[in-house]
């Protein structure tokens, strides 16, 4: 049993250790306790617990982060259109207010849990833990977490995801990686969204955006995509969704290693 | 942004550290909390100090000061075998300019130490308004 939530914990899973307990080391007067404890300890432990849930249910979890309105929900809608009949998708939506985004996802026939954070400008591992228990993970292969639209906070909070995907729309400017280094350093994949608008944005350079990401010592792939004209690659116009879907397929393949299913 | 929630976890860690001590120690009053903070943690030191003023009320650290040790961003270039101190948005080797470097420090967000008043010494002054002390830091 999982002591935190009472949910059945995968057998053979290592119990989460409390690193802080070991780190405490009392020194002589003036009564200073020397410590080396991350202030993210509690969140990191809950994220590890979430990760165990996801691994047990064999779910690939992708955390989508961006500024407000960069196209996270639109990307998910288009992704469900493209993959929905082959891959079982689920979505956890994070917003300050409203059920709008979850409603958009459910309209595509995909289960979605909405987390309304109220004041909190990011999702944390405890919120995700609450949400994952509202989903039947055994019926999901690919779980998207759409984080709160915010380029500052969400990067600091591990949720138990397999990968971070950061969206930067071409209308936001190619200097954003330099202005929000914490976020872009955390990215495992960067999508330059609304690429169909790129012809109108003469000062947005894919090369400059990429070079600003590299200067964060991040070798994550960078791809231009458009949710608006997902099939336009065939017409030679914009990149559509192809690079993103290819990346996702790769991640799904890496996950389905040939092993016996454990009960 | 979320500096208040960071403070709440900070105060939880302080309480935890003290709870692990002997009874005498656990009766002591926290006078200072030392943390290490790097710019790549995403936490703003000024906002953290302000949030701490609010968050410490009613806790063991009610009259404690928060001391923040800023941690510089440093990267290691394996090619040049050089460590460079760099701005948070230019993680490149200062010798050869490559971005193929590894982060050595700068994402730190950790509790380093908790200082307690001597439990046998004079009792801490009652009702000290934390606001008075606030502008020292
Ligand atoms: N032209 C164009 N517009 C897009 C594209 N993707 C999204 N948009 C538009 O951008 C606006 C915001 O899109 P959303 O998908 O709601 O963005 P979001 O990131 O989910 O927004 P929040 O959840 O509020 O942070 C909408 O008006 C979309 O129609 C795209 O590929 N091309
Ligand atoms: Mg959205
Ligand atoms: Zn659980
Ligand atoms: Zn936040
Ligand atoms: Zn070098």
Is the CB of A72 inside a 6 Å radius of any atom of ligand 1?
A: yes
The number of the ligand 1 atom at minimal distance from the alpha carbon of A149 is: 25
Q: Which tens digits make up the pLDDT trace of A107-132?
A: 999 999 999 988 778 999 999 999 99
Whether residue A262 is contained in a domain is answered as no
Residue with tokens 């002589």: A28
Residues with beta carbon < 5 A to ion ligand 2? A 72-73, 101
pLDDT value at residue A3: 55
Strand A60-66 to strand A142-146: parallel, antiparallel, or no bridges (unpaired)? parallel
pLDDT value at residue A231: 58
Closest ligand, as measured to the CA of A91? 2
Mean pLDDT confidence for A204-209: 96
Alpha carbon distance A172, A70 (integer Å): 8
pLDDT value at residue A260: 47
Q: Under an 8 A CB cutoff, do B92 and A217 touch?
A: yes
A211 Cβ neighbours under 8 A, 6+ residues apart: none
CB atoms within 10 A of CB A22: 9
The CATH number of whichever domain residue A49 belongs to comes to 3.40.50.300
Alpha carbon distance A112, A143 (integer Å): 10
Single pTM value for the model: 0.87
Contact A170, B18 (CB under 8 A): no
Q: What's the angle, vertex CA A217, arms to CA A50 and CA A189, rounded to 5?
A: 50
ipTM comes to 0.83
Spell out a b/e string for A69-91, using b for 16 or more CB atoms within 10 Å of the CB, else e.
Answer: ebbbbbbbbbbbebbeeebbbbb
Q: How close, in Å, is residue B123 to chain A by CA atoms?
A: 15
Range of the domain at B16: 3-71+107-117
Q: Which tens digits make up the pLDDT trace of A52-103?
A: 999 999 999 999 999 999 999 999 999 999 999 999 999 999 999 999 999 9
Whether residue B127 is contained in a domain is answered as no
Whether residue A30 is contained in a domain is answered as no
Distance B60 CA to ligand 3 centre (A): 30
Kindly give the confidence (pLDDT) of every residue in chain B, 137 residues in length, as a single tens digit, with 9 standing for 90 and above: 688 889 999 999 999 888 877 666 666 789 999 999 999 999 999 999 999 999 999 998 999 999 999 999 999 999 999 999 999 999 999 999 999 999 999 999 999 999 998 666 554 444 444 444 433 33
Whether residue B15 is contained in a domain is answered as yes
Distance B66 CA to ligand 2 centre (A): 37
Alpha carbon distance A62, A77 (integer Å): 15
Distance A8 CA to ligand 3 centre (A): 7
Is the CB of A227 inside a 6 Å radius of any atom of ligand 1?
A: yes
Whether residue A34 is contained in a domain is answered as no
Structural domain tally of chain B?
A: 1
Residue of A nearest to B75 (CA): A217
pLDDT value at residue B103: 98
The CATH number of whichever domain residue B16 belongs to comes to 3.30.2320.50
Burial environment of residue B15 by CB neighbours within 10 A (0 to 12, 13 to 18, 19 or more): middle
Instruction: Label residue A222 by pLDDT band (50, 70, 90).
Output: very high
Is the CB of A73 inside a 6 Å radius of any atom of ligand 1?
A: yes
Q: What strand order describes the sheet that includes A163-169?
A: A112-116, A89-95, A142-146, A60-66, A163-169, A189-193, A222-224
Whether residue B64 is contained in a domain is answered as yes
A240 Cβ neighbours under 8 A, 6+ residues apart: A225, A226, A229, A230, A231, A232, A233, A234
A34 contacts in chain B (CB < 8 Å): 112-113
Helix (H) or strand (E) holding B113: strand B109-116
Q: Which tens digits make up the pLDDT trace of A249-261?
A: 999 998 875 454 4
Range of the domain at A186: 13-20+41-253
Distance B99 CA to ligand 5 centre (A): 8
Q: Of B32, B110, B114, which Cα lies nearest the Cα of B65? A: B32
Structural domain tally of chain A?
A: 1
Alpha carbon distance A126, A124 (integer Å): 6
Q: Is the peptide bond before A30 cis (omega within 30 degrees of 0)?
A: yes
Whether residue A32 is contained in a domain is answered as no
Q: How close, in Å, is residue A6 to chain B by CA atoms?
A: 23
Whether residue A155 is contained in a domain is answered as yes
Whether residue A127 is contained in a domain is answered as yes
Whether residue B92 is contained in a domain is answered as no
Could you tell me the two tokens for A216?
A: 């964060």
What percent of chain A clears pLDDT 90, i.e. is strictly above it? 73
Q: Under an 8 A CB cutoff, do B113 and A32 touch?
A: yes
Q: Whose CA is nearest to atom 1 of ligand 1?
A: A194
Alpha carbon distance A201, A188 (integer Å): 25
Could you tell me the two tokens for A108?
A: 């595509």
Whether residue B113 is contained in a domain is answered as yes
Q: Of B88, B80, B78, which Cα lies nearest the Cα of B38? A: B88
A213 contacts in chain B (CB < 8 Å): none
B9 contacts in chain A (CB < 8 Å): 39-43
Asked if pLDDT for residue A5 goes beyond 80, the answer is: no
């Amino acid at each position: 049993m999982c002591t935190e939530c009472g949910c059945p914990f995968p057998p053979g899973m290592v119990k989460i250790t409390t690193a802080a307990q070991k780190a405490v080391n009392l020194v002589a007067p003036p009564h200073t306790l020397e410590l080396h404890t991350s202030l993210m300890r509690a969140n990191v432990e809950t994220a590890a617990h979430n990760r165990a849930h996801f691994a047990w249910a064999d779910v690939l979890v992708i955390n989508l982060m961006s500024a407000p309105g960069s196209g996270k929900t639109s990307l998910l809608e288009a992704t469900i259109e493209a993959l929905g009949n082959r891959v079982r998708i689920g979505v956890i939506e994070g917003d300050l207010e409203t059920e709008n985004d979850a409603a958009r996802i459910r309209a595509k026939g995909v289960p979605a849990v909405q987390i309304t954070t109220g004041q909190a400008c990011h999702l944390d591992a405890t919120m995700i833990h609450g949400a994952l228990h509202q989903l039947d993970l055994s019926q999901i292969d690919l779980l998207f977490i759409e984080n709160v639209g915010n380029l500052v906070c969400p990067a600091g909070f591990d949720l138990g995801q397999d990968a971070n995907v950061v969206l930067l729309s071409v209308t936001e400017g190619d200097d954003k990686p330099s202005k929000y280094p914490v976020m872009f350093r955390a990215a495992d994949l960067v999508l330059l969204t609304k690429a169909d608008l790129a012809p109108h944005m003469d000062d947005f350079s894919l090369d400059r955006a990429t070079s600003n990401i590299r200067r964060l010592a991040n070798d994550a792939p960078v791809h231009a995509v458009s949710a608006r004209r997902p099939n336009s690659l065939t017409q030679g116009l914009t990149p559509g969704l192809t690079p993103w879907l290819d990346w996702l397929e790769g991640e799904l393949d890496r996950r389905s290693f040939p092993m016996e299913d454990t009960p | 942004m979320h500096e208040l929630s960071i403070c709440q976890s900070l105060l939880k860690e302080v309480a935890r550290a003290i709870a692990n001590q002997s009874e005498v120690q656990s009766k002591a009053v926290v006078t200072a909390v030392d943390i290490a903070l790097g710019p790549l943690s995403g936490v703003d030191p000024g906002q953290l100090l302000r949030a701490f003023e609010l968050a410490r009320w009613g806790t063991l650290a009610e009259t404690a000061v928060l001391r923040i040790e800023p941690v510089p961003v440093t990267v290691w270039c394996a090619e040049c075998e050089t460590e460079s101190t760099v701005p948070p948005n230019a993680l490149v080797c200062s010798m050869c300019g490559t971005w193929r470097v590894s982060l050595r420090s700068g994402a730190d967000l950790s509790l380093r130490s908790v200082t307690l008043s001597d439990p046998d010494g004079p009792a801490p002054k009652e009702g000290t308004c934390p606001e008075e002390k606030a502008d020292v830091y």
